[in-house]
Amino acid sequence: MDDIALVEVAPLQVLGMRKTGTYQLIPELLIKIYEFTVKKKIPVSGAPLFLCHEITPEAVMEANGKGTAIVEVAWPVSGTVKGNREMKVYELPGGKMVHTVHKGPYESCEPTYLKLFAWIETQGFQISGPIREVYPNDPRLVKPEASPRSLCRSAELFFLFFFGSGEFLLSYYKIQKHLHT
C-alpha cells in the first residue's frame, strides 16, 4: 500500500448502473456498460469504477452476505451521452478525498481497507459518501506484483478492463472533517 493522502478529485461524468445483490455482480455490470459504450460508440475517458455504498467493514460483510449490497459501477465518459432504462449518465461529485493504492490481488485488500479506516478515524474525518474503487489495470493481463502506475500509461488497459480477480484497487473515500462538539 502506498501512502495515504488527501487529494482533490474533480467531478466526473460517468455512465453507470446500480443493482442490489452481492459484489459478485461487479464484473457482469462493468462488462454490460462497456459493451454498451462500444455498441453506441461512446468515448470512454477513464478507468472503470465501483462505488461501495456500505461504508464500514461490518456493513460490507453483512450486505454481501445477505445479498442486499448496493452495487453501483460506472465508466467515465466524455461528450454528450445518452443512457438507457438501465444505464444512466450522471456526474460523480468531486471534492477532498482520502486516496491510496492497493497493489496486489483483490483478495488481499482487506489490510489496506483497515489501514484506511484507521487513518480516517485518527485524522478526525468521517466518510460522507460512497467509497470509490477505481480499477486502472486489466487483471487478466497484469501480474499482481506489477506497479499500477507504470501500466496506466496505456489507455488501452482502461478500455479492456473487465473486473476479474481485481489485481489493483485505487480507493477514494469522500470525507468530511468530523466536528467534535
pLDDT at 25 over 90: yes
Query: In order of start, what are the domains of the chain with their CATH numbers?
Result: 5-177 (3.20.80.10)
Question: Which phi and psi angles does 76 have, rounded to 5°?
Answer: -65, 135
pLDDT at 131: 84
C-alpha dihedral over 93, 97, 100, 102, to 10 degrees?
-40
In this predicted model, what pLDDT tens digit does every residue of 40-63 receive, in sequence order?
999 999 889 988 888 888 898 899
Instruction: Choose between 82 and 144: higher pLDDT.
Output: 82
Q: CA-CA distance, 95 to 123, in Å (whole number)?
A: 17
Q: Nearest 5°: CA angle at 8, between 26 and 154? A: 55
Report pLDDT for 158: 20
Judge if pTM exceeds 0.85: no
